[in-house]
Amino acid sequence: MRTRLVYLGLLCLVCILLSLVVDLFYFPPHLIFPDEDRILRSATRLAATGEFWVGSDRAWEMPGTALYFAPAVWLFGSNTAVLPIRIAQSILLAAQCILIAITAERLVGKGAAIIAACIVALYPFFLFYQGLLLSETLFNTLLLAAIAALYCWRERGSRIDIAFAVTCLCFAAATYTKASLTILPPLLIAATAWSSGAQLRRTLAILVAASCFYGALMGPWWIRNVVVLDAFVPFTTGSAQNLYLGNNPYNLNAGIDWSSDVDSAVTAKLFALPEVERQRLFGQLAVDYIKDNPAVFLRNVAKKFVRLWNLLPNTIEFRSGLYSLISIASFGPLLALALIGAVRGRRHWRFFTPLFLIIGYFTILHVTTIASLRYRLPMEPILILLAAEPLSAFMKWIHRNALSAREGGQ
């Protein structure tokens, strides 16, 4: 036990050091992407006024990331907060090593725990995104915490107890960071209870309890939105824009570019509207287009699936030989091992049900709206959990053969 803790501590230290190397020597001292600037501006305004804004909107996205960045902005100022925030995100990545080790030990054993943590610490996509001031690193950490709590709750008998409350709390915290989870958490908790052997009546009781508690945790956001928007907005006012971007007459190739994949005249009029009305009309236009063009929608679903699970970067600026090589050499083996792990664990599918549901949910969500490698990131820790078992088994096989050869040589 002590040895594993020492290894895990060293892995966390290595993870932080690698992250700092990336932050200091790869990234410039300033922001790179427009999304980073938007979130930092929200954090700056939040630190200064105590109010959450996204430009001129009040609920365009969830406030969790701005809340996490706000203390660094308050302490160091918005112009010098970039490096402190990156350091804070490197610590989050180290926390992911611990969380995935806890979950992997419950799922597939002690040997796989260190392997899974090692993959997280060295995984290029995680090291890259922790250096960007985006929501992905915080969301992944909270989602992994929720998954760890979910399996702890399952192990304790799937009762409505403190572990149940912690699980709901972690999922709610993740939703406050990224609205993409929407109503999945109560359904996932109920599915976990059912897959562990709960009868239908008990499963429904857990679903009701999880829905109520999750709703209570999301309640402050709902009440705040009613106050500032005079409308019930359960999550964000920006979600329908992604649905429209992925489903409109100008987007025939499943792209994600607002400058070329939409009708600029239409979007200009919509962006001039109040955000609640804009949300409603974007959603209506997208749904109408899907209904009128089901064949195009299905064809784009297939293209988005390829974009989401592509071994190579989708954007031209990251398609250089080095980036493509890193992507293929890291995600390629991970995906293959995860598929092997899923096949090897098919007899224990009930145990892996939560992981399969999360992967299926995010895949459906993004092939319906918009897809890119960035939106695949929440699924990659789950792939690591699935990949850890066959990799652990392979390493044990090598160790046994080495011992046999050594004994035979004696």
What DSSP string runs through 295-363?
HHHHHHHHHHHHHHT-SS-SSGGG-SHHHHHHHHHHHHHHHHHHHHHHHHTGGGHHHHHHHHHHHHHHH
pLDDT of residue 408: 63
Q: Residues in the chain, how many?
A: 410
399-404 average pLDDT score: 71
Residues contacting residue 16 through CB under 8 Å, at least 6 positions apart = 90, 91, 93, 94
What is the distance between the alpha carbons of residues 336 and 314, in angstroms, rounded to a whole number?
A: 20
pLDDT of residue 407: 65
Q: What region, left, alpha or beta, does residue 199 occupy, with left being phi > 0 and alpha being psi -120 to 50 degrees?
A: beta
Phi, psi at 380, each rounded to 5°: -70, -35
pLDDT band per the 50, 70, 90 thresholds, residue 393: confident
- What would the pLDDT profile of 46-92 be if each residue is shown by its tens digit? 999 999 999 999 999 999 999 999 999 999 999 899 999 999 999 99
- What would the pLDDT profile of 295-345 be if each residue is shown by its tens digit? 999 999 999 999 999 998 887 777 778 888 999 999 999 999 999 999 988
Residue 349 near residue 291, CB atoms below 8 Å: no
Q: What region, left, alpha or beta, does residue 372 occupy, with left being phi > 0 and alpha being psi -120 to 50 degrees?
A: beta
Q: What is the number of other CB atoms lying within 10 angstroms of the CB of residue 77?
A: 11
Cα dihedral angle (392, 394, 398, 401), rounded to 10 degrees?
110
Tell me what the pLDDT averaged over the chain comes to: 93
Residue type, position 106, single letter: R
- What would the pLDDT profile of 152-178 be if each residue is shown by its tens digit? 999 999 999 999 999 999 999 999 999
Which of 107, 28, 178 has the alpha carbon at shortest distance from 390?
107
pLDDT band per the 50, 70, 90 thresholds, residue 405: low
Total-model pTM: 0.95
Phi, psi at 253, each rounded to 5°: -125, 20
Q: Which long-range contacts (CB under 8 A, 24 or more apart) does 6-12 make?
A: 7/114, 8/97, 8/98, 8/101, 8/113, 8/114, 8/117, 11/97, 11/114, 11/117, 11/118, 11/121, 12/94, 12/97, 12/98, 12/121
What is the distance between the alpha carbons of residues 52 and 208, in angstroms, rounded to a whole number?
A: 31
pLDDT of residue 168: 97
pLDDT of residue 41: 97
Which of 128, 127, 131, 40 has the alpha carbon at shortest distance from 80?
40
What is the distance between the alpha carbons of residues 348 and 276, in angstroms, rounded to a whole number?
A: 45
Q: Where are the domains of the chain?
A: 148-232
